[in-house]
Structures are given as structure tokens and as C-alpha cells.
Chains A and B, each alone.
Chain A
Amino acid sequence: MSEQQLFKVTIDNITIEVPAGTSILEAARKIGGEVAPPAMCFYSKLKGSGGKCRTCLVEVSKGSEKDPRPMPKLVASCRTTVMDGMEVKNITSPKVVDARAGVVEFLLLNHPLDCPICDQAGECHLQDLSYEHGKEGTRYEFQRRKFKKHDLGPYIQLHMTRCIMCFRCVYTANQVTDSRVHGVLDRGDHAEIATYIEKSLDNDFIGNVIDVCPVGALTDKTFRFKNRVWFLKPMDAHRDCPKCSGKVTLWNRGEEVFRVTARKDEWGEVEDWICNECRFEKKNSSDWVIEGPREISRHSVISQGHYVNTVKPTETFLAVNDGRAPHLLLDIHSESDVNKPEIELSLINGPAHSNNFNSK
């Protein structure tokens, strides 16, 4: 058998041939679009991830060509490999849609729903998932989980209450960085992401845990509360980095670089891991070579106000007014307190406080 064996698999009535050993989720992603089940814990670039969140449940209505019996229960598509002649139902199965709505509600049980404060809002997978399944609210009326505040150093902010226990950050630390100092402590309901002895996460490449986190549990402390993602302009940029590929997305406002993240593909997974230096310390646009605006899905809130293929009309005022500039009755920048040039929010280390505004 020199050639790799190809299996024919039908997902939502679309047939595709994939090599043996592919998971249902990856086969569905090859088809793309709505057929691909959502995934909160599975990350194709992290070995061993998946099988924890249960959002990727699908119904297997025909096991394989040789054994056509359906699988008795819904299966996690990220951990189930395809068989030849398998038939899978994802969004065409009401059972799956119903089960997924239930899973979303369970994920939101202990989630604080503090999206107005959370820096992840707007690019949060749990937010997308819950709105897609009509469960943006919660019926839970009891005390949610509470945790002791844990300091993870100057770069990474941990909000344990928002965590959904996907283990992605643990795998990232294991597989991308040299050493792992954080992990999951305790079991069951008490399980939490923490360092056993209060220790800051500062080994190189550890910043990638921010990108892999599907919720706002791990966020960038240098960007904390600086701005909302939908007011920023994502730009593709690169720099010569000795440690990583240096290919990043800059989140700009004007010329100010508010945040640096890895480039994410359509499944929300990073294209290249980036190092801590690129992510946290290069907050000047002069550090970067700008490639152009990043393409953002039209359905994302981040794309608000970003107009594609628009033609900006040329300013005719000077030409018709003999080269005289218009007389401004009010220059908003002289009057407004927001966006003061002397307060460079992007260069403040960590979140801004009242003294940052009052001292000036």
C-alpha cells in the first residue's frame, strides 16, 4: 500500500475524500462553511487537544460501508476518525442542534457573562457560539464559581471565572514553549488554571496562550482595558524576528499600535506562533513593516466601519476655494478630552488607571 488510503465520507450530504486517520471535524473543515462543527477545545496545531468541551458533537447516521449501523450516541467529531462510507449529520440533524444548545448552556453555567468588561468581547468564541445557538442568556440563578486572584506576571492576565477548561493553554505551554509553569490544579468543579507556587508566566512564546484561549480567561495585560477590539484597525505586518516568523496582526488606532496578535485563520487558529518580544514589546509602528489591512469576516463586529473597495472622493475644497483651507468653526481635537496626544495609552504598561489621566 504505497498510496495513502482515501476514505469517502459524507457530511451533511456533501461527500469528500480524506486520508485515513482524519477526524470528522477536520474533514468537515475541508468542506468549510457551516458544515464544520464549532470547536472550543480542539486546536489543530496542538497535539492531543480536543474531546473536552463537547461543542463539536455530531450524529453518525451510518458507521461505515462495512458496518452501516449508526453510532448509538452523538460523537465528538474532533476525536472520532472517519471510516470509509461514513455518513455524518451536523447541522441537518435536529438532535445535534439541540445537544449543542444544551452544551452551550452548560458552558455558560459558570461563565460570569461580564462581556462588557471582558477584553475578549467581539472575538470571543464562546460569545459567537452562544449567539449562534440562541442561548446568549443563562437560566442559572445560583452562585457561580469564585477564585482567588492569581497574578501571572506583567504580560498575562488570568480571569479564572471566565475559563471553560479547554486545556488549550496547557498544551500550548507544553508544545510551544520550553517549560510549563502553569497547569490545572484540583479536580472536577474545583479545577482551575494556575501556577502552583505564585509564579509569573514569562518564558518565551508563552504569550501564545492568549491567542489560543477561546474565551477571555487569558488576556493581554499590556492591552487590558485600553480599547475595544472593534474600534481598532487590524493590519497585517511583519518584522525580522530572530525567534519567530515575525508575521503578526497589529491592532492600530491611527498610528498607535494597541495590540499585537498572531494572524488567525477562519477557524480562529493562529497561523504562526509568535514570540513574547513581538507580542508585548514592539508597540511602535516603526518596529513593523505594514503589509495592509487584514481581512475580517463581514459578520464580525470587528469589521464595523471597515469599508472594502470604497473609493474615497478627492477633496475639492482647496481647488474651488483658490487654495484656501476651510475655516473650522470647531476643531474637535482641541476641545475633546479623549485621544489626547500626551496620554499614549498604548505605551502604558498594563491597564490605565485614574492617575494616568489625572497627572497630565
Chain B
Amino acid sequence: MQALTNRAKQVDRAPMTFIEQLYLWNIVKGMAITFMHMFKKQPTIRYPEQKREFSPVFRGLHVLNRDEEGKERCTACGLCAVACPAEAITMEAAERLESEEHLYREEKYAAKYEINMLRCIYCGLCEEACPKDAIYLSETFTPADFNRKNFIYKKTDLLIPNPTTDAQGFAAAKGLN
């Protein structure tokens, strides 16, 4: 039979000699490779102290954005939920009362907003669909947890800190410092 490539090697099935049976040379060869690795660059990092840099397009945990006056941008239009391929987003809308005008940007707002992080695939389509710049995927992971129920993120978990009352938290969430 003709070989397909010239790299094919015939397997040598001859019985090993006594020297070969001792495996000495092969052990030395293996040890040398292990030893060489001590001088190579380490691919691991010491995680909690050291952190890897994220790509600027990294898509992590969601945040619900506010405008400069601290009003919530989300109007519960449902476009993120309809765009979501994993059906992770649910919401309920309500009408803004006269006394709530400092809280919400438009007359309709999301009274309830939930993202099921167990379902979410971090594709960023919600961010793309949002007509109000209200939802963003931040450069952080969703923290690990022992309980499944802690992965149902409510509006309080998702909202960015209010820039008028908690300017520091807002800046930290935006990654400005």
C-alpha cells in the first residue's frame, strides 16, 4: 500500500535490547524536560492578589445605567427581553408618579427587572438592543455562589450606584478610578 505522506514511519516491532529495557536514557530525557520548565515563564497567576487584564470588549455582569442626574434610564420597553436568546430577562413596567420624577427618566419605568444569570450566555444582545443606553455588560465576572437562587439578579443588584448620592460608587462601577 502506498503511504499518503512521506512522514509515515514503520513501527519497529523488534524486541527491546537489555539497555533499552533499563529505560535509563528515557528517564534522563524526561527529567531534563521537567527541569527545563523551571526556567520557563509561568502561565499561571496568583488569582485573588493578581488579576488578569480584561479585553475592553469583555462582556461580563450586567449593569443598569443611570443618567447624569441619577435617574434610571430603563423604560421597560422589553427589547432586551425579546432580543435575549436565552430568555433570561424578565420585567414588569409601571407608570411614574408625579413624586417620582427625580427617580426615573421617562414616564414609564421598570418596576421589576430580573436577569437570571444561570440562563444568561453573556452574548451582549440586550446591550445592543437597548434603545435607551440603559443596560451594559461590565468588565467583571458574575461572582460564583453556592446557591442557585443567588443568581437571580434583581433590579437592586443590577442598578449602578446613584451618581448624586454615591459619586464614589458610581465612579468605581464605571471603572473611572
Q: Which of chain B's residues 104-119 have a Cβ closer than 8 Å to chain A?
A: 106-108, 111-112, 114, 116, 118
Q: Which of A116, A230, A301, A351 sits near B95, CB closer than 8 Å?
A: A351
Instruction: Provide the bound-state CA to CA distance between A356 and B92, in Å.
Output: 12
Q: Which of A224, A301, A338, A352 sits near B82, CB closer than 8 Å?
A: A301
Are B132 and A116 neighbours in the complex by a CB distance under 8 Å? yes
Chain A residues in 8 Å Cβ range of B75: 116-117
Are B106 and A353 neighbours in the complex by a CB distance under 8 Å? no
Chain A residues in 8 Å Cβ range of B100: 354
Instruction: Provide the bound-state CA to CA distance between A97 and B76, in Å.
Output: 35
Are B148 and A228 neighbours in the complex by a CB distance under 8 Å? no
Instruction: Provide the bound-state CA to CA distance between A351 and B94, in Å.
Output: 6
Chain A residues in 8 Å Cβ range of B111: 352, 354, 356-357
Instruction: Provide the bound-state CA to CA distance between A304 and B79, in Å.
Output: 12
Chain A residues in 8 Å Cβ range of B148: 329-330
Instruction: Give 1 or 0 for each of A324-360: 1 = CB within 8 Å of chain B CB.
Output: 0000011010011111000001000001111111000
Chain B residues in 8 Å Cβ range of A356: 94, 111
The answer to whether A121 has its CB under 8 Å from any CB of chain B is: yes
The answer to whether A226 has its CB under 8 Å from any CB of chain B is: yes
Instruction: Provide the bound-state CA to CA distance between A4 and B94, in Å.
Output: 56
The answer to whether B71 has its CB under 8 Å from any CB of chain A is: no
Instruction: Give 1 or 0 for each of B107-140: 1 = CB within 8 Å of chain A CB.
Output: 1100110101010000000000001100000000
Instruction: Give 1 or 0 for each of B55-99: 1 = CB within 8 Å of chain A CB.
Output: 000000000000000000001111101100000001111110100
- Which of chain B's residues has its CB closest to A351's CB? B95
The answer to whether B158 has its CB under 8 Å from any CB of chain A is: no
Are B77 and A338 neighbours in the complex by a CB distance under 8 Å? no
Chain A residues in 8 Å Cβ range of B82: 228, 230-231, 301, 304
Given contacts A115-B131, A116-B132, contact A337 B114 (CB under 8 A): yes
How big is chain B's contact interface, by range?
Answer: 20 to 34
Chain A residues in 8 Å Cβ range of B114: 336-338
Instruction: Provide the bound-state CA to CA distance between A115 and B78, in Å.
Output: 11
Q: Which of A116, A226, A339, A352 sits near B77, CB closer than 8 Å?
A: A116
Are B97 and A354 neighbours in the complex by a CB distance under 8 Å? yes
Chain B residues in 8 Å Cβ range of A339: 90, 92
Chain B residues in 8 Å Cβ range of A336: 90, 114, 116, 152
Chain B residues in 8 Å Cβ range of A354: 94, 97, 100, 111
Instruction: Provide the bound-state CA to CA distance between A330 and B112, in Å.
Output: 20
Taking the nearest CB of chain A, how far is it from the CB of B4, in angstroms?
45
Are B152 and A335 neighbours in the complex by a CB distance under 8 Å? yes
Chain A residues in 8 Å Cβ range of B116: 332, 336
Chain A residues in 8 Å Cβ range of B76: 225
Instruction: Provide the bound-state CA to CA distance between A356 and B108, in Å.
Output: 14
Are B152 and A332 neighbours in the complex by a CB distance under 8 Å? yes
Are B94 and A357 neighbours in the complex by a CB distance under 8 Å? yes
Q: Which of A115, A226, A330 sits near B149, CB closer than 8 Å?
A: A330
Are A225 and B94 neighbours in the complex by a CB distance under 8 Å? yes
Chain B residues in 8 Å Cβ range of A357: 92, 94, 111-112
Are A352 and B93 neighbours in the complex by a CB distance under 8 Å? yes
Are B78 and A230 neighbours in the complex by a CB distance under 8 Å? yes
Are B78 and A231 neighbours in the complex by a CB distance under 8 Å? yes
Chain B residues in 8 Å Cβ range of A114: 106
Instruction: Provide the bound-state CA to CA distance between A121 and B97, in Å.
Output: 22
- Which of chain A's residues has its CB closest to B106's CB? A117
Are A345 and B92 neighbours in the complex by a CB distance under 8 Å? yes
Instruction: Provide the bound-state CA to CA distance between A258 and B108, in Å.
Output: 18
Chain A residues in 8 Å Cβ range of B78: 227-228, 230-231
Given contacts A228-B78, A304-B82, contact A330 B94 (CB under 8 A): no
- Which of chain A's residues has its CB closest to B154's CB? A337
Are A335 and B108 neighbours in the complex by a CB distance under 8 Å? no
Chain A residues in 8 Å Cβ range of B90: 336, 338-339
Are A231 and B81 neighbours in the complex by a CB distance under 8 Å? yes
Q: Which of B93, B97, B107 sits near A226, CB closer than 8 Å?
A: B93
Given contacts A116-B132, A230-B78, A335-B152, contact A352 B106 (CB under 8 A): no
Chain B residues in 8 Å Cβ range of A226: 93
Given contacts A117-B106, A354-B111, 18 further A-B contacts (CB under 8 A): A116-B77, A117-B108, A225-B76, A228-B82, A301-B82, A329-B148, A330-B148, A332-B116, A335-B149, A335-B152, A336-B90, A337-B112, A338-B92, A351-B94, A352-B92, A352-B94, A353-B94, A355-B97
The 7 closest A-B pairs by CB, nearest first: A116-B77, A351-B95, A228-B78, A330-B148, A338-B90, A352-B94, A225-B93
Q: Can you list 28 contacts pairing A with B, beta carbon distance less than 8 Å?
A: A115-B77, A117-B75, A117-B107, A117-B108, A121-B77, A225-B76, A225-B95, A225-B108, A228-B78, A230-B78, A230-B82, A301-B82, A330-B118, A330-B148, A332-B152, A335-B149, A335-B152, A336-B152, A338-B92, A338-B112, A339-B90, A352-B95, A353-B94, A353-B97, A354-B94, A354-B97, A354-B111, A356-B94
